[in-house]
Amino acid sequence: MQFTATQIAGLLNGQIEGDATISVNKLSKIEEGVTGSVSFLSNPAYTQYLYSTQASMVIINKDYVLTAPVTATLIRVDKAEDAFSKLLEMYNEVKLNKKGISKLSFIADSATVGNDIYAGEFSFVGENATIGNNVKIYPQVYIGDNAMIGDNTTLFAGVKIYSETQIGKNCIIHSGTVIGSDGFRFNPQSDNKKVPQIGNVLIEDDVEIGANCAIDRATLGSTILRKGVKFDNLIHIAHNVEIGENTYFAAHGVVAGSTKIGENCMFSGQVGIVGHLNVADNTIITAQSGISKSITKSGGVYMGSPAFDANKYRKAYIHFRNLDNLVQRVDKIEKQQKESEIKEG
């Protein structure tokens, strides 16, 4: 994809300084700029690179004052970072705008398929599945029987959607993720016989799920990810869990069965939550914390394992770090006391 300075300035409502006919076909960081790329400068810490970058084009703020000659063509805008973000979005949209159904894909005759979909090589759509408009199904995606995929949703290569799963509009699911696999339930009173998992997974609109996540189907009813939920890579959500709207999970998060997570929560990496709990809205959990009991107060910050109030944890940790010194002091006092008792005896 080739774009001239004139075209980019038009898209960003910017002003050109330099060669308006110069063209670019890639994006780059300013310190790694190469010929044929466009970059931006907004952070003063990177100012030096404006004068040495090999990028053909650089987006800068309108009020930036040059202190030396530059070789790149400049596009002056109100806010360089915002303008470059807009350019990134447009570039990504063009790059991912795939359409057409490959002859090497399979779509069941009973499936309902919307307009302008993309189905890559070796993708599979099962019986009675419903695929919305403008859905992107990348190579080797599996969509099971009776599954529903909403408009404008993208399933990247290798995603597996089990039967009965429902996914809303404008969702993004990255490679290797499995949605609708069986929940982990066995009956120890009956020779560990597997408990059938006959529920499904329900994912609402505007959800993004990272690579290699696992979202288990419910035993009965639904495992639910509400609107706007965002998952990093390597998240495991067990059967019958419900994640509230606009909640974020960083990598390696695990939520055990039947736990209910509130809205607008933020969980850092490697957070583990045991089953059958409730976590209040707006809760923040720091990295590597373990949640072993329900959190009922909205807006709290928790850390540790088992986790408790972050401020109290930090104070307690100061004492923990001094524990060895305290033990040595106690040992010394006990030794002095014994020596004194021997003398008196």
* Pairwise CA distance, residues 41 & 44, whole Å: 8
Neighbours of 264 (CB within 10 A): 16
Candidates 174, 236, 239, 252; catalytic one: 239
Write 112-121 long-range contacts (CB < 8 A, 24+). Answer: 114/151, 120/157
Q: Is 247 strand, coil or helix?
A: coil
Residues 198-235 as b or e (16 or more Cβ within 10 Å = b): ebbbbbbbbbbbbbbbbbbbbbeebbbbbbbbbbbbbb
Q: Respond yes or no: is residue 239 known to be catalytic.
A: yes
Report yes or no: 235 and 200 within 8 Å, Cβ to Cβ.
no
Residue 74: which of 110, 31, 111, 41 has the closest Cα?
41
Q: Scan for tokens 């695990």, then name that residue.
A: 254
Q: Fill in the amino acid letter for 152.
A: N
Those residues whose C-beta lies under 8 Å from the C-beta of residue 298, and which sit 6 or more positions away, are 262, 280, 281, 282, 283
* Pairwise CA distance, residues 193 & 274, whole Å: 22
Catalytically active residues are 239
